[in-house]
Amino acid sequence: MSGLFDPSPPPASPTPPGPGLFGDAPPPVDTAAAAYRVLARKYRPTLFEDLIGQETMVRVLRNAFAQNRVAHAFMLTGVRGVGKTTTARIIARALNCTGPDGKGGPTATPCGACADCRAILADRHPDVMEMDAASRTGVDDVREIIEATRFRPLQARTKVFVIDEVHMLSRNAFNALLKTLEEPPPHVKFIFATTELRKVPITVLSRCQRFDLRRVAAADLAAHFARIIGLEGFTAEPEALALIARAAEGSVRDGLSLLDQAIAEAPAGGRVSAASVAEMLGLADREMVFDLIEAVLAGRVPEMLAITARAHEFGADFATLLQDLLALVHTLSRLKTIPELRASSEFTEAERVRGAALAVRVAIPVLARAWQMLLKGLAEVEQAPDARAAAEMVLIRLCHVADLPPPGEILQRLATAPAAAPPAPSFPPSPSGGDGARAVIGGGTVSAPLPGSFREAVALVAAAREATLHAHLLHGVHLVRYAPPVIELRPEADLPRDLAARFAAVLAEASGRRWTIALATAAGEPTLAEQGRAADAARREAAIRHPLIQAIMAAFPGARMEAVHTAGLDAYGLPAIGGGEARPVFDPDDPGFDPANPAGDDAAGFPEEFDA
């Protein structure tokens, strides 16, 4: 068939003629350059097991072929370079493989040796037809496909139509395809590939078996690149492969293209270095990025400017530098929130060691503020006529707000400041260390008051937005002794090992004092959560035994008491310290509510509602 799907192979390159015009011999043809194939084509997978990072799809397809339950249409979706078209070609070979003896049937492990396998691998099989919907979007193109489905295969067992970027088809083209797609002839299979699944009509999706090809993890990409670079006769630093894998963003093809470029910059049979890859990608040195974030978070402006000057000398792109800082802030936030990630192989050695140490010292609100300012500053750098000046202005702003507490903490400290002195916030110690936070009032130094109880100390953790640490302290820690600035605790076995260090860091930042958190083996008190549940149960038990409540229950069979609302409780369901006895909350709209006696006490000092 000619036209849309021309099965004839491309014309071969013309052979060099005999003697030249003047009788001299023709120049020799250099076939080495023409024979070179880029890594993305040279190492394209030819079997299902060669696909990396797509274990779920491979398992389903292998089972489908083993059970002879192969669908008539497939929809492969995913980002660029994850193997959609490659998977389509493997499926086409699996459907048409006849085995080395020519007698085989459909199989999940095509032989690669039969005539059909070889022709499909060479992209010249007359019954496996590919169409790029990005350039052929009209209904006439689809009608040509429909016409081709009426005829049996020329030499294969099954006709396979592969339509790439299928979301580019017009609405009329999709509508024309629906009937054939729903009831195709038994000798026809459709395989669609798209990067924009949401643009494919649901009527088409419902007629296809859908596979979502995932982005390949950076660790898997780095291991894949290490195998390939060894086969090419080169070596590479692990950090270099990690940089390429990270820049690929889950795309195998993009990563292999970058690896091709990195090998081209290395000497023959030499070693690909992390420095050369960073220069190739326009990345700042990773250690330089760590130096920069530490200087910024510590408020050291001269050191920060010296680092940016060095980056300028190396030719670093300042928009990329801010992007690297954003990525590092995100990494630090993940390490801060989930300490178990410090042993994950997805991070580089510098991120696991230096990043983990930095994450312990920096609070989540500080990281969140840095993220927002860097994100806004990145747009400024991209629009500014002088990228270096714009980037340095962004980083100077970050340096000057490094020691500022979040607004909620400022309000809290203003509320607890001594009445005789003008209220002013006390600033936390810098992330790089120091001798504590100081707020100068009348020429002196006033530190924040120490929390009077363990509950107040835990509340400071909640105010610091340390949600994970607060949950651990609330549900898994037993107080043994509270003698500020010393606290003895017995944590439960499954809590993180660095809990004491993180707790001490938050308290030091909030109070400006050095704290010691000691771990003890004594039983200690129940956890705050257990105390709150016990207090709530006691209040419910006391209320349910009251004669008035019992009378209500008797008058309304089936009624139940949902909750007991009591005034004077803190966030943990316990009576506020120094707040007196907790009393039930009464509705001001009640006709019997007395504003002068909000608790509703009688002359004897007891709640009138609970009089017998």
* pLDDT at 590 > cutoff 70: no
Encoding tokens for residue 80? Answer: 């660029």
Check whether 16 has a pLDDT greater than 70.
no
For 430, which DSSP code?
B
36 or 492: which carries more pLDDT confidence?
A: 492
Strands ordered across the beta sheet of 486-491 = 477-483, 486-491, 516-519
Q: Which two tokens stand for residue 173?
A: 């083209």
Distance CA 472, CA 492 (A): 9
Question: Which residues contact residue 39 at a Cβ distance below 8 angstroms, ignoring those fewer than 6 apart?
Answer: 228, 232, 256, 257, 259, 260
Domain boundaries for CATH 1.20.272.10 within the chain: 286-400
Please say whether the dihedral angle defined by the alpha carbons of residues 453, 456, 460 and 466, taken in this order, is positive or negative.
positive
The fold for domain 454-528 equals GMP Synthetase; Chain A, domain 3 (3.30.300)
CA distance 6 to 131: 11
Q: For residues 429 and 437, what is the distance between their CA atoms, to the nearest angstrom?
A: 5
Bridge partners, 164 (sequence order): 132, 193
pLDDT on residue 314: 77
Q: What is the pLDDT of residue 377?
A: 93
User: CA–CA separation, 531 vs 543, rounded Å?
Assistant: 18
Residue 566 pLDDT level (bands cut at 50, 70, 90): confident
The CATH number for 39-212, chosen from 3.30.1200.10, 3.40.50.300, 3.40.50.970, 3.40.190.10, is: 3.40.50.300
Residues 457-487 pLDDT 10s: 998 898 888 888 998 998 999 999 998 888 9
- d(C-alpha 158, C-alpha 147), whole Å: 16
CA distances to 85, 118, 207, 594 from 191, rounded to whole Å, are 9, 20, 12, 76
Amino acid at 199: K
| Nearest Cα residue to 49 out of 100, 86, 102 | 86
Q: Which of 87-91, 188-192, 251-255, 510-514 has the lowest mean pLDDT?
A: 510-514
Share of the chain above pLDDT 90, in %: 34
CA atoms within 13 A on the CB side of 279: 11
Which top CATH class is 218-281?
Answer: mainly alpha
pLDDT tens digits for range 373-382: 999 999 999 9
DSSP of 187-239, one letter per residue?
TEEEEEEES-GGGS-HHHHTTSEEEEPPPPPHHHHHHHHHHHHHHTT-EE-HH
Q: How far apart are CA 205 and CA 443, in angstroms?
A: 73
Token couple for 405: 């507490």
Q: What angle do CA 414, 418, 422 make, to 5 degrees?
A: 65
- Indicate the pLDDT class of residue 408, thresholds 50, 70 and 90: low
> How far is residue 110's CA from residue 167's CA, in Å, rounded to a whole number?
30
Class of the domain covering 286-400: mainly alpha
Average pLDDT, integer, range 221-234: 91
Token pair in block for residue 322: 């801010």
Domain with CATH 3.40.50.300 in the chain: 39-212
CA distance 228 to 232: 6
Please give the average per-residue pLDDT across 91-95, as a whole number.
94
Domain(s) of CATH 1.10.8.60: residues in the chain: 218-281
Residues 6+ apart with CB under 8 A from 258: 244, 247, 248, 280, 281
Eight-class DSSP state of 129: E
Residues of the chain with CATH 3.30.300.180: 454-528
- To the nearest whole number, what is the mean pLDDT of the chain? 80
What value does the mean pLDDT take over residues 243-272? 87
Among 64-73, 171-180, 284-293, where is mean pLDDT lowest? 284-293
Angle (nearest 5°) at CA 409 between 440 and 432: 65
Q: What is the pLDDT of residue 276?
A: 85
Tally of CB atoms within 10 A around 230: 11
The pLDDT, as a whole number, for residue 116 is 92
Give pLDDT, residue 448. 66
- In one letter, which amino acid is 112? G
Which among 141, 39, 40, 150 is positioned nearest to 85, based on CA atoms? Answer: 40
> HEC string of 227-280?
HHHHHCCCEECHHHHHHHHHHHCCCHHHHHHHHHHHHHHCCCCCEECHHHHHHH
Average pLDDT over residues 236-246: 88
Distance CA 403, CA 298 (A): 8
Answer yes or no: are the C-beta atoms of 564 and 592 closer than 8 Å: no
